[in-house]
Amino acid sequence: MNQNQLRILVFGAHPDDCDIKAGGVAALYVQQGHQVKFVSVTNGDAGHHEMGGGPLARRRTAEAQAAAAVIGIEYQLLDNHDGELEPTLENRYKIIRLIREFKPDLVVSPRPNDYHPDHRYTAILVQDAAYMVTVPNICALTPHLDYNPVIVYSSDGFTKPYPFTPDVVVGIDSVLEKKLDMLHCHESQMYEWLPYNAGVLDQVPESPDERRQWMAERRSRGFKAIADKYREVLINLYGEERGKDIQYAEAFEGCEYGASLTEENKPKLFPFFPDS
């Protein structure tokens, strides 16, 4: 194995969360030869207005695997019910074992301030696992790590108790189409459940090509908004000329748990900037 290869572990609550928040950087890591794994902490079996339970969980598993194939990563779904996730000891142990087995350099997680309980508790579970992955007598039959991975939060728009404040913003213009291809695989969400929940189901086109264009236009606005909102961070990381030209981005904030994201390790963990 390449000693310079990074191992990136991305957690989301549902089988499309990782793609939405970090699909772009995942594609960039893979292009550089690094290893990426997405984990959905629930099986997504409640995320629909017409189907649910086992059939929906199996459908969403297939969608996640199709999305993973777009960029060549591993995508694991934990068999917890959607909408019922709790930060129990049992679930903490699942996360501890998963982190230990993958041995990540970097862990990406949602923040614990969020409208959705599954998002909040995914964040809490990752936080609760952060130190414990190094403790030998916790989950003793899964060898402990001799280091603590760096943990970063993916972006959100919530402001209380404090707003998301990015330490890293990555331009994803070169892989935007790959990210959209991944989202296109999540048909039950992009073209059915999420439009239904937003009251725009009647706007979804019939043909696959028109659907993808419709979804791309809507989703790309959010990725553009991140680039515009954090333009100064982009300029700081990429330099004036390139930082001003980036149209689409993903953003990440260092977590106080796990190892610290520092100015020294940032270029290694995010090897996308001119000085990296």
Q: Which residue from 59, 27, 55 is spatially nearest to 182, judged by alpha carbons?
A: 27
Tell me the mean pLDDT in the region 66-85.
98
- In DSSP terms, which residues pair with 249 in a beta bridge? 171
Torsion sign (Cα): 137, 143, 147, 152: negative
In a domain, 275, yes or no: no
In a domain, 154, yes or no: yes
Residue type, 178: K
Torsion sign (Cα): 157, 68, 39, 8: negative
**Whole domain around residue 75: which residue ranges?**
7-172+250-269
In a domain, 240, yes or no: no
In a domain, 215, yes or no: no
184-223 residue pLDDT tens: 999 999 999 999 999 999 999 999 999 999 999 999 999 9
pTM of the model: 0.97
In the chain, how many domains are there?
Answer: 1
Q: What is the CATH number of the domain that holds 95?
A: 3.40.50.10320
Q: Which pLDDT belongs to residue 149?
A: 98
Pairing label, strands 150-154, 249-258: antiparallel
In a domain, 195, yes or no: no
